A and B are shown apart, each in its own frame.
Chain A
């Protein structure tokens, strides 16, 4: 018994050290490292933005509407005379909060569902997988729009909508890992000595899916950023007067000939954030997936 437990411990430690090795490799990848720096910068802006000496993002100055960038307003003002830099900083908070929350929700639902489907198999697997297949049968953004129409707009509802449509991919990944791992000797041994199903799933099966799930977190975060920006652009996400990147871009549409910079700055923020996450995602895949590590 003790040898099995020790063996389990060894597998777990080996998997953890491989994970650490992968992360070290990630930092050595220049594009992924640059992506990490950009993401860190966005996170710092989101966290400490309100402490920065910037103007009130909601305060309107009708005498300086759509003003060009100047020393008083580094990125100019919008159609209602609000400081664009301040609005971008506050919008960063909303975008990261919604996207991060959506990915956490997708993880929180998808990982347990995938674990149960893979571990218990049979009817549990069939029901869970057909449900995830059904969600995947919709173009994601259309289902997210329909959910927001149903639940109502606002930060929490947008987070729920994006989280729900992102959930199946985590469930499928964890299920695939669980199907492979549950046939391993150490899992059979743990079952034989009467370890509970919950404990087996958490202690012995879940660690095997850490690498693919970590890679998927990056990909899903990029998708969530785009989905949030799309919903806000369509007027279904963050509601005025609070700023979001997508909403700022939509507001700028009426001023494309007179004040094109109003569209350029939120466009740059959305694209830079997604690009950084994609670089880190690619780096994580290269570092943690053995097929890519050898290339």
Chain B
């Protein structure tokens, strides 16, 4: 297990190197002069030159990369072309909002997926199983922004129960901000709940067919004990991996959900940066989300070992 984790950790620098090459290339594959694209056609040539120098675009490509990556290694992701603020500060200022949205969506999706997956597996091939899996496939098929718009139409416009937009922080001010977060969290978490419930159902079905489950049932244990103490422990393992992958989806999904509900998070910062052609911010957010995703996957691998003695001892 330790060897596996060490092997995974040693792969990370290589992975980060290739990720950094991809992010570095984003600005360089732009057709035409990236500075002119960022500044528009009527910009001041002196300002253009200063931006070109700031982004090291006036130097050879390998030098550009070394300058950029050494800045990143020292926590300098550059400055926003639009606001002149350091990119790291911009991301840090919005980080908690996006994280609270993603974490709340993750908790909600698990809270829906676990009971649904268990019910479907324990009622395998029954109308309840078919019904739940049909609804799960439906929920999986509706993009989060469609769910968000439909929720706004019904919950806010028709019934007026919740505000259409607003922002806050679920960690620091849960009492004041939950009303703003309810619809975004639901629209973000619904499809993930569907994916995880489908995964848990098939994983639980596979475990329930194993000999040790038959033995536990044969020795007279209650069905609930067999399910919770023996079957679910193993069946939840693949869900850990899926949950880590889902965290990446949630960060990506936050982009569009934040736009719809006017939440000032990293997603809405990214869209503002894309329309302003603010490449340092786009690169900074891409790097930040990739690193977060890599860490989440590493954590999942580690948790897998913690929860599964077979992997830990192998």
Contact = CB atoms under 8 A, between A and B. Distances in A.
Contacts of A146: 23, 26, 282-283, 285-286
Given A139-B249, A151-B30, A234-B255, A271 B293 contact: no
Nearest to A274: B141
Interface string B11-37: 100110011011100110111000000
Contacts of B21: 134
Interface string A132-174: 0111011111110111111110000000000000000000000
Contacts of B19: 134, 137-138
Per DSSP, chain A at the interface is helix
A229 interface: yes
A260 B153 contact: yes
B252 interface: yes
A83 to B, nearest CB: 21
A130 B13 CA distance: 11
Per DSSP, chain B at the interface is helix
Contacts of A235: 275
Given A134-B15, A139-B293, A151-B31, A267 B146 contact: yes
Contacts of A152: 30-31
Interface string B157-184: 1000000000000000000000000000
Q: Chain B CB within 10 Å — which of A130, A141, A147, A149 has the most?
A: A149
A252 to B, nearest CB: 8
A235 B275 CA distance: 9
A214 to B, nearest CB: 19
A249 B260 contact: no
A150 B260 CA distance: 24
Given A230-B256, A234-B271, A256-B153, A142 B141 contact: no
A134 B22 contact: yes
B137 A142 contact: no
A257 B157 contact: yes
A135 B22 contact: yes
B110 to A, nearest CB: 19
B289 interface: yes
Interface string B109-131: 00000000000000000000000
A249 B253 CA distance: 17
Given A139-B252, A142-B255, A150 B146 contact: no
Interface string A262-295: 0110010011001100110010000000000001
B93 interface: no
Interface string A19-32: 00000000000000
B249 to A, nearest CB: 6
Contact of A142 (B31, B277, B289): B289
6 contacts: A130-B18, A133-B18, A137-B15, A139-B251, A152-B31, A230-B256
Given A253-B260, A256-B152, A278-B141, 14 more contacts: A138-B19, A138-B289, A140-B252, A151-B31, A229-B143, A234-B256, A252-B149, A253-B149, A256-B149, A264-B150, A267-B142, A270-B143, A278-B137, A278-B140
Interface of A: 130-131, 133-135, 137-143, 145-152, 222, 226, 229-230, 233-236, 246, 249, 252-253, 256-257, 260, 263-264, 267, 270-271, 274-275, 278-279, 282, 295
Interface of B: 11, 14-15, 18-19, 21-23, 26-27, 29-31, 137-138, 140-143, 145-146, 149-150, 152-153, 157, 205, 248-249, 251-253, 255-256, 259-260, 270-271, 273-275, 277, 279, 282-283, 285-286, 289-290, 293-294
